[in-house]
Structure 1
Amino acid sequence: MSALTIKAAGLIVFRRVQDSIQYLLLQASYGDNHWTPPKGLLENGEDFQKAAIRETEEEAGFSSEDLSIKEDFKKTLKYEVRGKPKEVIYWLAELKDPNQPVKLSSEHQCYKWVLLNRACELSKYEDLQETFRQAEYHLLK
């Protein structure tokens, strides 16, 4: 019998400040205190994008009205967590007001707005680093 795939979704939230693109990373308040964009597990009957928006609101305080979701950028990451397959889908989402404050949930202890290189340094996983690079390329093309 194969293990059921864990399904999660998130938004790569960015803002434009002067001539730069800054990405939001949240530091987990558990485990190895890893850095990721806002993301989380799908709830019963929820589709990936609804989960991504809900998790972003829960974890960073940004609702769908605060964000402009880029429907033309969608990235699926597949990897294993504790021996179980996991699938995470990310969309790009621009924060409409770049000065809007982040409201962290208890799941996270810190947040940073960072440029691409720092986002890749903080993201320990190669597939997430590659997702940031593809997002940047998509925004600059």
Structure 2
Amino acid sequence: MRWDRWGVGVSVLAAALGWLAGPRPAELGDESTGDAQLGSRVRALASDTTGYRGLAVAYVTSDSVRVAGLGDDGAGGAVGGDTPFEIGSIGKPLTGMLLADLIRAGTVRADEPLRDLMPTVDFADPDTAATTAEELARRPQDSH
């Protein structure tokens, strides 16, 4: 019976230590670079900083560009205006919005094939050359 209690106690201790030492979500650190006033403002607006390791912010006006970095880059350095970030899938909607702007401006037609949009490119595959701007902007599940 004593060994059973000891085994349960060790199991509970191991679980507690695993919880304490386990992975944690990123938390925005105290580091700050660049425009201190902008950094303070952004930090105040970012009330829940869980999940953010570092942020870089630019405030652009017709007269100036102000840049602030908050937190760290994950490699021990402070985030600054020149810190590279992975953008993930954000490029897809941005590309779609740019295409919509070009279509609205009459610069590009949605049904225009790549061979017409890029006349200097020698497409090895005729199917690729026939792909339209609209087809490139579609989500994969919309293609069927």
| TM-score range relative to shorter protein | under 0.3
Pick the structure with more strand per residue: 1
TM-score (norm 1): 0.23
- Which has the greater radius of gyration? 2
Pick the structure with more helix per residue: 2
Q: Which has the higher contact order (CA 8 A, sep 6+)?
A: 1
